Amino acid sequence: MSAPFDLDPRLAGDTLLVGDLALCRVLLMHDARFAWLVLVPRREGLVEIADLPADDRARLWREVDEAAAALRASAPCDKLNVGALGNVVRQLHVHVVARREGDAAWPGPVWGSGTAEAYADGVAERLVEALRAGLDIQA
Amino acid sequence: MSAPFDLDPRLAGDTLLVGDLALCRVLLMHDARFAWLVLVPRREGLVEIADLPADDRARLWREVDEAAAALRASAPCDKLNVGALGNVVRQLHVHVVARREGDAAWPGPVWGSGTAEAYADGVAERLVEALRAGLDIQA
């Protein structure tokens, strides 16, 4: 249960911690333009989804679904975007992003689009609390 | 098994048919810059992954994994990218893209990047044949 797991420093630096699901660490991107979660399987050395054994792969996608549902409940949106890219940060991670028509990147992808904007005081923390409640994660 | 299913005309127009898996139609994007598959669950009225019942959702992700493996075997790459966006084409579809360092969009996402380039004669058809073999799809 406590295998070593080091979060990529760029992911750590760009995000707030929501908490841990059975497989993944859930992070909120510190970017007020989009309600944007990143899920990182807590295993060492993963790059591709295929690097996970089949049961963990199924669990990853279930947790992506759970994260999407919690995100949609906390941040009303017109479309969810899910992506696993890893072209820059190699550590396997999956993005789940609540998109609104007319948002800063609409209808393009959020990845590589413009510059992150800081959340106003307390806003990200309230979103994190709502997400924890939706995901049944203890603070 | 033969419920009605209409493929979005933009997806149809941009792709070649690889074939049908148990849930998804598999398409090859007609863009020589990237080896790029699109998987479309053959159900009417789907927009979000959550619109699929849980067993079909699990099947979707298994088929995405299978498509990724077949793609990697047919088109050597440095990284696979998986994405479900749907901001432009609403019909639920999942992209699986073989990325190479230095390709036309590297390290950014392929979506919204530049203009598709035509495959040279026969190249896409040979790739489709290799993908069918890898996915055990009959022509």
Q: Is the entire prediction scored with pTM above 0.90?
A: yes
**β B79-84/A15-20 pair status:** unpaired
Q: A22 is written with which tokens?
A: 């059975």
At A2 the pLDDT is 55
From the CA of A104, how many Å to the nearest CA of chain B?
13
Contact between A83 and B81 using a beta-carbon 8 Å cutoff: yes
> Does domain B9-107+115-132 correspond to CATH entry 3.30.428.10?
yes
CB–CB of A23/A108 below 8 Å? Answer: no
CB–CB of A11/A93 below 8 Å? Answer: yes
Q: Kindly state the helix (H) or strand (E) to which residue B4 belongs, with its residue range.
A: none
Distances (CA, A) of A92 to A19, B21, B79: 17, 26, 11
From the CA of B24, how many Å to the nearest CA of chain A?
17
Tell me which chain A residues have a C-beta less than 8 angstroms from the C-beta of B52.
none
Taking the domains of chain A in order of start, what are their residue ranges? 9-135
Band (pLDDT 50/70/90 cuts) for residue A3 is low
At A139 the pLDDT is 73
Helices (H), chain A: 9-14, 54-74, 123-135
The count of C-alpha atoms lying within 13 angstroms of the C-alpha of B11, restricted to the half-sphere facing its C-beta, is 23
At B2 the pLDDT is 55
Give residue for tokens 């299913």. Answer: B5
Nearest to A79 among B69, B82, B86 (CB): B86
Nearest to B80 among A48, A57, A68 (CB): A48
Residue A118 DSSP label: P
Nearest to B49 among A49, A82, A86 (CB): A82
Contact between B108 and A112 using a beta-carbon 8 Å cutoff: yes
pLDDT < 50 positions in chain B: none
Contact between A87 and B80 using a beta-carbon 8 Å cutoff: no
My answer on whether omega of the bond before A53 falls inside 30° of 0, hence cis, is: no
Q: Which amino acid type is present at position B39?
A: L
Tell me which chain B residues have a C-beta less than 8 angstroms from the C-beta of A62.
58
Residue B114 DSSP label: S
Neighbours of B42 (CB within 10 A): 18
Contact between A108 and B99 using a beta-carbon 8 Å cutoff: no
CA A93 – CA A84 distance, rounded (Å): 6
Residues A27-54: what's their mean pLDDT?
97
The count of C-alpha atoms lying within 13 angstroms of the C-alpha of B123, restricted to the half-sphere facing its C-beta, is 13
Per-residue model confidence as pLDDT tens digits over A55-75: 999 999 999 999 999 999 999
CA B95 – CA A121 distance, rounded (Å): 37
Distances (CA, A) of B77 to A48, B15, B132: 12, 20, 18
Contact between A68 and B57 using a beta-carbon 8 Å cutoff: no
From the CA of B81, how many Å to the nearest CA of chain A?
4
CB–CB of A44/A4 below 8 Å? Answer: yes
Contact between B87 and A80 using a beta-carbon 8 Å cutoff: no
CATH class held by domain A9-135: alpha beta
Contact between B112 and A111 using a beta-carbon 8 Å cutoff: no
At A138 the pLDDT is 84
Band (pLDDT 50/70/90 cuts) for residue A42 is very high
Contact between B57 and A65 using a beta-carbon 8 Å cutoff: yes
Contacts of B131 (CB under 8 A, 6+ apart): B18, B26, B28, B37, B70, B71, B74, B137
From the CA of A74, how many Å to the nearest CA of chain B?
16
At A5 the pLDDT is 87
At A9 the pLDDT is 97
CA A42 – CA A139 distance, rounded (Å): 18
